[in-house]
Amino acid sequence: MNHYFTNSNLKSNIQKKEVIIKEKKYIFETDIGVFSKKGLDFGTRTLLENLDLNNIKGDVLDFGCGYGPIGIFVKDNTESNVDMVDINKRSLHLAEKNAKNSNVTVNIFESNIYSNITKKYDFIITNPPIRVGKQILYEILFKAKEYLNKNGELWLVISKDQGAKSLVSDLEKEYIVNVVAKNKGFYIIRALNH
Ligand SMILES: C[S@@+](CC[C@H](N)C(=O)[O-])C[C@H]1O[C@@H](n2cnc3c(N)ncnc32)[C@H](O)[C@@H]1O
């Protein structure tokens, strides 16, 4: 868990990964100490491939952006304003570089959960951190309501092994929930703030 919070004294080994998402090519730099340094995570890919891009507009938050694949892909493929946050400084630095290299303009800043979030969004999209534990995971997913406009949508990916089924029934207490897709145990969940 340490690597999410303190990685300034970790060794660095920046690698360029070519990633194709929905027939579009991106080059993402990854590094030791950031999530999925070997390239695009399968859960993230499944989430991106199942987003309803035609419907995404307005203000979007990529929560826990890592090296940036979600926010960069969404900005590149929709008419929206994209903010991207993470607690991990190395991730934020890579996300900045990757956004610049992908020719997208996004707003990237540090936030511990929602500590530095000051506005409401139409979409919050996340491959959330799991190893932070259930309490923080639930804080991220349920507090999201406070940062969503009415009829705003929280989109997330979580695997069956990580508790997707019970999460769906918990989310149903606060949101209108659809499981948009399932692929190899990964659930893509849309939770509407009604
Ligand atoms: C599963 S990774 C997803 C990274 C990236 N979005 C992707 O799909 O490759 C979750 C991210 O949440 C970040 N994170 C963990 N705890 C956080 C917190 N308290 N506040 C903000 N971000 C956090 C981690 O640093 C990590 O980058």
Question: Residue 4's pLDDT is what?
Answer: 53
CA distance 140 to 61: 12
User: What confidence tier does 85 reach under pLDDT thresholds 50, 70, 90?
Assistant: very high
Is the per-residue pLDDT at 89 higher than 50? yes
**Mutational pocket test of ligand 1: of 1, 2, 3, 4, the residue with most ligand atoms within 8 Å of the beta carbon:** 4
64 CA to middle of ligand 1, Å? 3
Nearest to 12 by CA among 105, 77, 91: 91
Distance of CA 63 to the CA centre of its chain: 5
User: What confidence tier does 2 reach under pLDDT thresholds 50, 70, 90?
Assistant: very low
CA distance 178 to 172: 9
pTM to 2 decimals? 0.96
Is the per-residue pLDDT at 1 higher than 50? no
**In this predicted model, what pLDDT tens digit does every residue of 130-185 receive, in sequence order?**
999 999 999 999 999 999 999 999 999 999 999 999 999 999 999 999 999 999 99
Residue owning tokens 């069956």:
160
193 CA to middle of ligand 1, Å? 22
User: What confidence tier does 9 reach under pLDDT thresholds 50, 70, 90?
Assistant: confident
Q: Which atom of ligand 1 is nearest to the CA of 126?
A: 6
CA distance 33 to 24: 26
Mean pLDDT of 48-57: 98
**Average model confidence (pLDDT) across the chain:** 96
User: What confidence tier does 10 reach under pLDDT thresholds 50, 70, 90?
Assistant: confident
Q: What angle do CA 149, 51, 166 make, to 5 degrees?
A: 75
Q: Report all structural domains of the chain as residue ranges with CATH numbers, in order of start.
A: 41-192 (3.40.50.150)
Q: What is the rounded (10 degree) CA torsion for 120, 151, 60, 47?
A: 140
